Structure 1
């Protein structure tokens, strides 16, 4: 815009300069003409005065007197005076000896004077070697022409005068040009400044600077244009604000969705991806946007669905397996979006991670199968021994008592199984509120060990209790006792005769308690460690059933520890024993299981 102002100012100055130059030339020429005309008129009058003086004094017949008289006149008027007879012979000249001068009959001014009574010309003088202005009048006496009086002046004087006029005129022109330049600068600034501001604001709008406004007092069309751009900027600012707010809402919604969302254009390039999709596919959006979907996805099934949806435009819903970065089962929903002409412009892909659902379905199926299997064994035993008794064994007291003892044991086992299932169900459904109280954990462990002491003595297993130290925490006494009882019972069951079970307590910090139960038993193979807290999962199934276990003890322990906002960790080496490490908070924030 600065260049435009310069160009406009230069254009104004050029026009004004040309006009002033033309006016200057015109006035200079006019002044030169007027000056020469005035000079000619003056010389003409002087020549007539000299002519009358010559005729009055009859000086044509007195050459010496004529020469003296002409020299006097020449000094007074500052001009060259030449007098010739009718034939053109020079009789007197104030600059040269008349005898040395040639005949002047052919001089233009003299011929004109003889013909019309007056003559003038501007020409180069061969005698004086410079331009001269000549004026000639005839010496008429009673209608007879006796000679010619010619008055001449150096044209250089005229040229000097015209030059002085030109100097004055140029000075006036320059001063006028400066004044007009200042005025044109002010005018161009008043014209271009609003345009510059309009351009600045318009460029700002293209760079999303919608808060800029045009501040000008310009009137007319420029003022209306400024108001229109200000209104446009305000409207764009409001629209962009609304768009940005909607974008933030959309971004917030998409990033807080648990389902993955991908937007693929009709050129098969990814244009949008939310955080859930990044987590499912293992790619960050910044590395994926703009790429073809087959370049970033490692699921050929998903890529095939995207291509099929783009080609057909139909809605698709299928389950796919993704193995990177982790194995997932995904419910993929694909739908095309179109423009006003019905052309497919891209597709929206929604990805729901149903891995947990399918895992739960599988666990439910396995749970039903395990429960059925666990219930079937005691029921089959009870039914078999009952039928045997009914078939006649009831008459034999020894057999009857033996069978009834077995039926009683199986009934107890069945009762324990059902009780454990009900307890586990209540814990998982958070229907067992904790009765939180302050517990002396060392005392609780001692009381719990008394229950299993006889069982440990039978196998000659030594149980080492924690050192005498007051370690207290908040918790449900019965549930805490159940945790210790289950873990110690398991340690005794899976530890050979003459083994050891060690229980230690410590406080790693002011807010937590750590309890460790270690044994020297048979240990757990490494491949089974991730699953030992699953319901009905047994490492040694035959031995577990023989010991009367239900397969739910560790699952109950884990849930009870989690209900106390704690954690359990197991380490084991086959043939060298198992160690359970439990970390519990000293203070419960809630009286209900988490």
Structure 2
């Protein structure tokens, strides 16, 4: 209570000081006003006497007499007297020659005198170069306006008196204020310092500076308030630290999720998106935060499901197809979350990219169908010819030999098919480790061509070998030989008799080797070029089967090249030929 009384005394002190200042201001203004009123009345009386004298003697018609008379009045009164004609022209002036003075009709005191009978004004005189008080009255003869007379006096005395009064009041007030300011400062410091500390800490808290504390020894209510705020700041610091830690965890989890997460508020605007959504939908996360969800999901149909989830307030699961920025299949989970009163506050959208799963399912289905189809042909042949032999054909040696030859060929074909399937499976599952060593690709090509040279001669096909002497790279010799053998065998197979197969090996750059296998064969139609590396895909199915091909050779080649961190491309024109280009790195260490 003592502190309250001190503060109350200070308030009363401020009120008293305010009243003293107000009273001083009012007194100074009152004295100035009274002084000016008395002076105006005095001048008004004098100017009427002068006006009566001028009218009585009709001095406005006698310029010489008028000038002498006005100077006499001016000397007696210590003022400036000016007589004007009714049009404002100066007839006489006690201080200046009338000819040097301008027309005075527009002076404020003259206009007021013409309007009301007496004109008053306090203004700066451009002629005298200081402030003056003016009083003007009209000169009337038998009710007719004959001119005007104006008396003016310097108001420097008035201003000086008022200035002295102001200085006295100001001095007293300053002394009083200084005295009481010293006293009140000592008193208010003990009150305001803890409040200022409390204010500072409160501002720091609003700026999220929760480590700020109040350093004060104040007692009583203010001390208790300071301790309460310090406790609140400590609690907020702990809570915000926990919240920030949770936010970082949540942000880390969301940004490292493969699935996309979106949060839609009850205003139908996006309030959160993770990086996966940006990758799946092709939209910049920062650009669409705060925007309506229709701007992101309208084209894909996602917005329709979000609106439906808002309406039902439940959970949904849908599958949608995207065609931009690339074709994708998404498994979409939507769930609404509500407040305690059951009002839907928002919708959480979870996006799973199942494109690869669906593609894998399709590939597995096609693979099973293709394997079944490919296996059915040799098995059917073996079974059919075996049954024929068992039914009696075994007695005929010639027929038996023919059927057994076919069974043997179909068994070899079945064995090649199973072997290729197993090899392809091992390569795709990375279960066929590559043994990298230094390989001369030119020498490897020469060694591989020897294996198919007899087949080429039988078909009268000319094979042109690389012109370069050597080309060294890192690779698995057996797998690279398998790549070359498949490409050269295909070139021979699809080249008519008398055709040509050309193999070139070139240094394509700092760490690149380029192998090309070109032929003058039947070529590949343009619509098939994008699919020739698929398993069991054949352009000419009848000819492939007749040659004993399994349809897996190019798929194996593609996987082996990619296992060497290389790339294979194809160019072809029907009836002109085909060119397979394989690009391989010289050093595999850079890809390890």
TM-score by length of 2: 0.68
Bigger drift between 370-379 and 229-238 goes to 229-238
1:263 and 1:273 in contact (8 A); partners too? yes
Which residue matches 2:288?
288
**Can you give the 5+ residue segments of structure 1 that lack an aligned partner in the other structure?**
1-7, 25-166
Which residue matches 1:385?
385
Deviation at 1:444, TM superposition (A): 1.1
Which residue matches 1:114?
none
Written as runs of structure 1 = structure 2, the 5 A alignment for 1:256-335 is 256-299=256-299, 301-335=301-335
Distance 1:460 1:550 in 2: 24
For each residue in 1:245-286, what CA deviation from the matched residue of structure 2 results, as whole angstroms up to 9, or x when unmatched? 221221121111111111122332222111222222222222
Written as runs of structure 1 = structure 2, the 5 A alignment for 1:99-110 is none
Distance 1:388 1:579 in 2: 45
Bigger drift between 486-495 and 521-530 goes to 521-530
1:486 and 1:554 in contact (8 A); partners too? yes
Which residue matches 2:516?
516
For each residue in 1:9-52, what CA deviation from the matched residue of structure 2 results, as whole angstroms up to 9, or x when unmatched? 99676435379899x9xxxxxxxxxxxxxxxxxxxxxxxxxxxx
Which residue matches 2:465?
465
Distance 2:590 2:404 in 1: 47
* Bigger Rg, structure 1 or 2: 1
Deviation at 1:422, TM superposition (A): 1.3
1:16 and 1:180 in contact (8 A); partners too? no
Which residue matches 2:566?
566
2:204 and 2:212 in contact (8 A); partners too? yes
Deviation at 1:193, TM superposition (A): 4.5
For each residue in 1:360-413, what CA deviation from the matched residue of structure 2 results, as whole angstroms up to 9, or x when unmatched? 111111111111111111222223333333444434333333332222222211
Written as runs of structure 1 = structure 2, the 5 A alignment for 1:76-475 is 174-299=174-299, 301-475=301-475
Distance 2:212 2:437 in 1: 67
Distance 1:414 1:239 in 2: 71
Deviation at 1:239, TM superposition (A): 2.2
Bigger drift between 480-489 and 315-324 goes to 315-324
Shift in CA distance, 314/17, structure 1 to aligned 2, threshold 3 Å: closer
Q: Secondary structure at the match of 2:495?
A: coil
Distance 2:396 2:223 in 1: 121
**Can you give the 5+ residue segments of structure 2 that lack an aligned partner in the other structure?**
1-7, 25-166
1:521 and 1:578 in contact (8 A); partners too? yes
Deviation at 1:473, TM superposition (A): 2.4
Distance 2:372 2:18 in 1: 113
Which residue matches 2:492?
492
Query: How many matched pairs?
Result: 443
For each residue in 1:521-555, what CA deviation from the matched residue of structure 2 results, as whole angstroms up to 9, or x when unmatched? 22222322222111101112112112211000011
1:570 and 1:579 in contact (8 A); partners too? yes
Distance 2:212 2:227 in 1: 13
Shift in CA distance, 419/17, structure 1 to aligned 2, threshold 3 Å: closer
For each residue in 1:97-153, what CA deviation from the matched residue of structure 2 results, as whole angstroms up to 9, or x when unmatched? xxxxxxxxxxxxxxxxxxxxxxxxxxxxxxxxxxxxxxxxxxxxxxxxxxxxxxxxx
Distance 1:534 1:555 in 2: 6
Shift in CA distance, 312/466, structure 1 to aligned 2, threshold 3 Å: same
Q: Secondary structure at the match of 1:469?
A: coil
Which residue matches 2:478?
478
Q: Secondary structure at the match of 2:433?
A: coil
Distance 1:173 1:439 in 2: 106
Deviation at 1:487, TM superposition (A): 0.9
1:441 and 1:471 in contact (8 A); partners too? yes
Bigger drift between 9-18 and 384-393 goes to 9-18
Deviation at 1:292, TM superposition (A): 2.7
Q: Secondary structure at the match of 2:291?
A: coil
Deviation at 1:299, TM superposition (A): 4.7
Bigger drift between 216-225 and 559-568 goes to 216-225
Shift in CA distance, 419/265, structure 1 to aligned 2, threshold 3 Å: same
2:468 and 2:506 in contact (8 A); partners too? no
1:556 and 2:534 aligned: no
2:468 and 2:505 in contact (8 A); partners too? no
2:265 and 2:346 in contact (8 A); partners too? yes
Distance 2:21 2:275 in 1: 76
Which residue matches 2:39?
none
Distance 2:20 2:290 in 1: 65
Shift in CA distance, 579/248, structure 1 to aligned 2, threshold 3 Å: farther
Q: Secondary structure at the match of 1:233?
A: helix
Written as runs of structure 1 = structure 2, the 5 A alignment for 1:10-29 is 14-17=14-17
Distance 1:173 1:549 in 2: 116
